[in-house]
Structure 1
Amino acid sequence: MAGIRIPPEDSEPSSQQSRGAVGDLVSDDERSVAADSWSIKSDYGSTLDDDQRQTDAADALSAANFRAPSDYSSDKEEADAEEAVQSMLGLQSYWDTAYADELTNFREHGHAGEVWFGAEVMEVVASWTKSLCIDISQGRLPNHVDDIKSEPVEQGDKYLSTWSVLDIGTGNGLLLQELAKLGFSDLTGTDYSEGAVQLARSLSDRDGFPNISFLVDDVLETKLERQFQLVMDKGTLDAIGLHPDGPVKRMMYWDSVSRLVASGGILVITSCNSTKDELVQEVESFNQRRIGVSQEPEMPKDQEAGRDPPFRFLNHVRSYPTFMFGGSVGSRVATVAFLRS
């Protein structure tokens, strides 16, 4: 899953580009079905409980004065057509259609599909994350990971093999393959699109990575009971934010992800819709909301540890090209790591 795609330069025309306008892919009925599929469902309550979760999140959203992703955009004169395309990227029906075509393309031609944000960004994310994990394994919290050269894979294996890794919204699973090449071995990828999972499994088997696990799972209503030391997100939060109910669903995202990252583990988010500072602010808003909830009188004593901020900023990639816009320095992609308390 991804927000806005940044394909690698000089790449071949993608199968998705050849499918025509997005409006040709998804009908009004499919949009309705997709919107229904995004409704948050609980394993522990009735439909009323599900509605209450939506209401609670909306109330918290209002109280926190949380900004929608569109508010982060400095281009307020974006064309209506482009806004419609962006909102489509937040619907499951869009991704189901996209990955059905990608899977067909793979079976007929052996194509792996697109690399979200481009192969160069994926390689930077993987190598930077490797350095970060090795540093933490050695008992150091780095300040300038980009300035640290990773140990050779043969030496790094003794650290990386102990890290359990989850890639949420894994798509074709190529990021996990890249991490496997660097020495990570306990790797799991999830995506709410069954076609994406089928494609990821097929590519993993073909490319010699049969030990990577892939599961159909929606991060907003995850069925995973396991926690992971490293959770990767490359574009999933972007796509969630492009849903018509994006602000509420982004809050639900943080509630869910906070349960997936093990204590002392890290969350690495790569985004092209939010800057590093915006992601840090979003995490701070989530921390404040969680601390406020944990201080309620009825909070069980065994949950008092939750009064500490769930996440704190750890580091970010500094090597991406930057540009100046509106008096601020930014980058087309941001990769930010947060440490779980």
Structure 2
Amino acid sequence: MAGIRLAPEDPELSSQQSRGAVVSDLISDDERSVAADSWSIKSEYGSTLDDDQRQTDAADALSAANFPPAPSSDYSSDKEEVEAEEAVQSMLGLQSYWDSAYADELTNFREHGHAGEVWFGADVMELVASWTKGLCIDISHGQLPNHVDDTKSELVDQGDKYLSTWSVLDIGTGNGLLLQELAKQGFSHLTGTDYSEGAVQLARSLADRDGFANINFLVDDVLETKLERQFQLVMDKGTLDAIGLHPDGPVKRCSSSF
């Protein structure tokens, strides 16, 4: 019977393969997770980088540490993304979320003088305030909204005369910057409410600092409002969204009275 001759074993190659197997076995998923988490970089105010950037940084860190790459998986991340989105939606509808958010913004104001987030951006806020001014002037003059005639420019020039009679309520006022913009347009009877006490504290502090101490701010939940007076103009820039994002959103939407 013919014999089978095996190729001579390369001692160096065999040793390298053996060491590689040992290193691979010793590095656990937990160690990979720790290395990746160490590269979850946060911004000045604690917001994390986007997922793609975090994954890139984590891969670079693993590579630099000579860690073998994590095994590929066929598991779809769609479920995780949906669950994360649902969690955000639930949080944005909870008062505890806004209390925490405005506590941070109030701290940033006290320590750095920052006004906080301008919803939809400063340009949009100015545009909304300007449009609101024109609308209220038209209504005060007995015109239908969007009606245009030769007296339009004259009415805008004399806007303060008309706007001084308007009482304005901004529900979910947050930092109150929209009311400051309305005050710049000529409105004088301005009230802002929010169910987060931190938001009201921040709005008052900003108004005092910026020279709008005449703006009135109150802690009030629009769904259980304790306000007894009526307003000619009620504004909302995100409160309905927050109500809809509450876990009991459909019920709360039906009970809202504005």
- Give the Å deviation of 1:117: 1.3
Determine the C-alpha separation between the residues in 2 that align with 1:159 and 1:7: 100
Question: How far off its partner does 1:43 sit?
Answer: 43
**Distance in 2 (alpha carbons) for counterparts of 1:219 and 1:139:** 30
C-alpha spacing 1:59/1:113, structure 2 compared with 1 (3 Å)? closer
Distance change (3 Å), C-alpha of 1:208 and 1:45: closer
Q: What do the CA deviations read for 1:74-122 (whole angstroms, capped 9, x no partner)? A: 9999722112101110000000000000000000000000001111211
CA distance in 1, matches of 2:247, 2:174: 21
CA-CA distance at 1:235 after TM superposition: 0.5
| Distance in 2 between residues matched to 1:161 and 1:5, nearest whole Å | 104
More helix by share: 2
Structure 2 vs 1, CA of residues 123 and 80 (structure 1 numbering), >3 Å: closer, same or farther?
Answer: same
Picking from 126, 129, 134, the partner of 2:132 is 129
* Partner Cα separation in structure 2 for residue 248 and residue 236 of structure 1: 15
Alpha-carbon displacement from aligned partner over 1:128-171 (angstroms, at most 9, x marks no partner): 11111000001011246899976586510000000000000000
Which ranges of structure 1 fall in alignment gaps of 5 or more residues?
250-341
Higher relative contact order (CA 8 A, sep 6+): 1
Classify 1:25/1:56 alpha carbon distance in 2 versus 1 (closer, same or farther; 3 Å).
Answer: closer
Flag the 1:53–1:121 CA change in 2: closer, same or farther, 3 A: closer
Deviations 1:165-193 (A, max 9, x none): 00000000000000000000000000000
RMSD (Å) for aligned C-alpha atoms: 22.9
Does the CA contact (< 8 Å) of 2:193 and 2:220 recur in 1? Answer: yes
- Whether the 8 Å contact between 1:58 and 1:248 is mirrored in structure 2 is no
Distance 1:114 1:43, change over 3 A: closer
Q: Distance in 1 between matches of 2:164 and 2:3?
A: 30
Helix, strand or coil at the partner of 2:181:
helix
Larger CA deviation: 149-158 vs 228-237: 149-158
C-alpha contact (below 8 Å) 1:188/1:212 kept by paired residues: yes
TM-score normalised by length of structure 1 = 0.49
The whole-number CA distance in structure 1 between the counterparts of 2:183 and 2:124 is 16
- Return structure 1 stretches of 4+ with deviation > 4 angstroms: 1-66, 68-78, 144-154
Q: 1:139 to 1:179 in 2, by over 3 A?
A: same
Give yes or no for contact 1:2–1:239 (8 Å, CA) kept in 2: no
Fraction of identical pairs, as percent:
91
Q: Compare CA radii of gyration and give the structure with the larger one.
A: 2
The answer as to 2:37 corresponding to 1:32 is no
